[in-house]
């Protein structure tokens, strides 16, 4: 008899696990979610609100995909887990037996006990339900205040500005995302936010939210005592692991559901992955909890191997993340310390102040790349870090990393010149990209 593999959560982690398990196993696979029946691209929610996409267009798979691949989707809410009976309890009153259970419940928006945080018109932005609520909360409003300066905050600001809603952002730090970005990149985003007519308030904190007689938000009070009238407050001060389903189940938790390197919880046959998982021991230069799309997907690929009989430890690999700050795309590969003054690095920024490349290196090898407004090829950057290329070898071959060079301006020559200028006695010459040459040659043959 086929075993039951139950997955709680249908985000990138849960669905990747389901797909990879199906490739390796004939087990019965159940995916449970009360957020949406079908998997969708969470990072594309903003484009639905902005009118660029419809919801059906951000579902990566056709609805018939799931039945065809024998993955049963349950649009249900999990109320608890009975690990002794190996059952999942559902809000409908039904139970579902499991042989192996994967908890991939993601994150939930933070709240820090502010007075007025539960008023109508105060919300976070994470789930499909949050998007629906935002549609209701922004009808016929003129001003919003966003509390928090992370990636979700800037997405929300862009969404609101697309509807001509005035936006004030309260950022506690001295500069936007300066706990992640080095000073120059952070200042670039400060400028970019203000250029988009967003009222960015740095070193600013929320004190309380005030409501009107109908319990709807009417203003916020800052720590300085200043009052800002608004009809929406977006709380985007980060997220925390969503571990509610694991509470009172015997599964050991801390901030997240505690797991080992195999993503196994404290209870046999129960696993956790993605945003809700917390490693008991962090990997070198990594955090115990990594709430990133890319790591959630890699967690799931490792779990799929293990539950199908090939016990496989999670290997974090080279750190990578990407995001978008309004019009500026961002990529990071490897180790980039926000206190960059302590490390050797090459930093170049274009004269318009909206594109930048930073390469961090030692005497022996490159360690990381920060890219603002410029794309590099993922496989090339990872190869350079993994194979410990020297900074000189990287600069010589920068053309290999340029993404779609026939469509975008190339800046490799300027980076090379800056490195040579900053390092007297060096005379690094940029090699012509063989990849670019082949691309241009093939295009010329096709049009001949």
CATH number at residue 391: 3.30.390.30
Residues 136 and 66 in one domain: no
pLDDT at 133: 97
Residues 43 and 62 in one domain: yes
Whether 67 maps to a domain, the answer reads yes
Distance of CA 447 to the CA centre of its chain: 40
Is residue 436 scored above 80 in pLDDT?
Answer: no
Mean pLDDT (whole number) for 256-272: 98
Is residue 341 scored above 90 in pLDDT?
Answer: no
Least confident range of 81-90, 119-128, 190-199, 409-418: 409-418
The pLDDT tens digits of the residues spanning 289-313 come to 999 999 999 999 999 999 999 999 9
User: Contact, 114 vs 211, CB < 8 A?
Assistant: no
Tokens of residue 101, six digits: 């259970």
The candidate with the shortest Cα–Cα distance to 267, out of 390, 93, 86, 34, is 86
Q: Exposed (0-12), middle (13-18) or buried (19+): which is 436, by Cβ within 10 Å?
A: middle
Residues 227 and 328 in one domain: no
Residues 86 and 229 in one domain: no
Looking at residue 2, the DSSP 8-state letter turns out to be P
The pLDDT tens digits of the residues spanning 15-52 come to 999 999 999 999 999 999 999 999 999 999 999 999 99
Residues 145 and 290 in one domain: no
Distance CA 352, CA 329 (A): 15
Q: Of all helices (H) and strands (E), which one includes residue 292?
A: none
User: What Å distances lie between residue 134 and 126, 138, 231, 342, CA to CA?
Assistant: 11, 6, 12, 43
Distance CA 180, CA 199 (A): 21
Mean pLDDT (whole number) for 335-364: 89
Is residue 171 scored above 50 in pLDDT?
Answer: yes
Whether 448 maps to a domain, the answer reads no
Whether 75 maps to a domain, the answer reads yes
Whether 314 maps to a domain, the answer reads no
| Whole-number percent of the chain with pLDDT over 70 | 95
Number of independent structural domains in the chain: 3
More confident residue, 442 or 379: 379
Residues 372 and 406 in one domain: yes
Whether 214 maps to a domain, the answer reads yes
The candidate with the shortest Cα–Cα distance to 177, out of 117, 255, 237, is 237
Whether 315 maps to a domain, the answer reads no
Q: Among 237, 266, 292, which residue terminates a domain?
A: 237
The pLDDT tens digits of the residues spanning 108-150 come to 988 889 999 999 999 999 999 999 999 999 999 999 999 998 8
Residues 336 and 434 in one domain: yes
Distance CA 21, CA 28 (A): 10
The residue segments making up the domain with residue 260 are: 4-108+240-307
Is residue 437 scored above 80 in pLDDT?
Answer: no
Residues 174 and 60 in one domain: no
pLDDT at 193: 97
Residues 15 and 90 in one domain: yes
Looking at residue 218, the DSSP 8-state letter turns out to be E
Q: Among 266, 286, 307, which residue terminates a domain?
A: 307
pLDDT at 343: 81
Distance CA 366, CA 385 (A): 6
Is residue 5 scored above 60 in pLDDT?
Answer: yes
Whether 313 maps to a domain, the answer reads no
The pLDDT tens digits of the residues spanning 382-421 come to 999 999 999 999 999 998 998 766 667 788 899 999 999 9
Mean pLDDT estimate for the chain: 92
Residues 330 and 391 in one domain: yes
Q: Among 259, 276, 307, which residue terminates a domain?
A: 307
For the entire predicted model, the pTM comes to 0.91
CATH number at residue 203: 3.50.50.60
Whether 294 maps to a domain, the answer reads yes
Q: What are phi and psi of 275, to 5 degrees?
A: -60, -30
Residues 250 and 104 in one domain: yes
Residues 218 and 330 in one domain: no
Mean pLDDT (whole number) for 214-231: 97
- Beta-carbon contacts of 52 under 8 Å, excluding residues fewer than 6 positions away, are none
pLDDT at 283: 92
pLDDT at 447: 39
């Amino acid at each position: 008899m086929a075993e039951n593999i139950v997955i709680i959560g249908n985000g990138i982690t849960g669905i990747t696990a389901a797909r990879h398990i199906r490739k390796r196993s004939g087990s019965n696979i159940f995916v449970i979610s009360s957020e949406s029946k079908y998997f969708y691209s969470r990072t594309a929610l903003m484009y639905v609100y902005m009118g660029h996409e419809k919801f059906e267009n951000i579902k990566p798979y056709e609805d018939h995909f799931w039945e065809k691949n024998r993955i049963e989707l349950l649009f249900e809410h999990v109320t608890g887990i009975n690990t002794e009976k190996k059952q999942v309890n559902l809000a409908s009153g039904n139970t579902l037996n499991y042989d192996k259970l994967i908890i991939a419940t993601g994150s939930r928006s933070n709240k820090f006990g502010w007075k007025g945080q539960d008023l109508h018109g105060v919300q976070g932005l994470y789930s499909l339900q949050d998007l629906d609520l935002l549609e209701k909360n922004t009808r016929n409003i003129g001003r919003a205040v966003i509390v928090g300066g992370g990636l979700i905050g800037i997405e929300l600001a862009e969404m609101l500005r697309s509807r001509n809603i005035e936006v004030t952002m309260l950022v506690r730090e001295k500069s936007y995302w300066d706990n992640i970005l080095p000073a120059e990149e952070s200042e670039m985003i400060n400028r970019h936010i203000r250029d988009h007519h967003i009222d960015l308030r740095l070193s600013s904190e929320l004190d309380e939210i005030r409501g009107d007689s109908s319990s709807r938000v009417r203003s916020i009070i800052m720590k300085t005592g200043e009052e800002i009238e608004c009809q929406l407050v977006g709380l985007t001060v980060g997220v925390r692991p969503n571990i509610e389903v694991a509470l009172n189940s015997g599964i050991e938790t801390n901030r997240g559901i505690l797991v080992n390197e195999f993503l196994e919880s404290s209870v046999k046959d129960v696993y956790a992955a993605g945003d809700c998982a917390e490693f008991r021991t962090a990997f070198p230069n990594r955090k115990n909890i990594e709430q990133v799309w890319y790591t959630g997907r890699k967690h799931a690929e490792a779990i799929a191997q293990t539950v199908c009989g090939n016990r496989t430890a999670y290997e974090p690999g080279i750190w990578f993340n990407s995001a978008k700050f309004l019009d500026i795309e961002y990529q990071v590969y490897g180790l980039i310390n926000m206190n960059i003054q302590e490390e050797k690095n090459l930093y170049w920024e274009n004269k318009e102040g909206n594109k930048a490349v930073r390469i961090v290196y030692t005497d022996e090898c490159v360690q990381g790349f920060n890219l603002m407004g410029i794309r590099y090829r993922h496989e090339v950057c990872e190869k350079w870090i993994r194979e410990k290329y020297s900074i000189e070898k990287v600069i010589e071959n920068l053309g290999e990393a340029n993404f779609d060079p026939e469509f975008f301006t190339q800046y490799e020559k300027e980076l090379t010149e800056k490195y040579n200028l900053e390092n007297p006695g060096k005379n690094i010459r940029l090699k012509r990209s063989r990849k670019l040459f082949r691309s241009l040659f093939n295009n010329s043959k096709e049009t001949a």
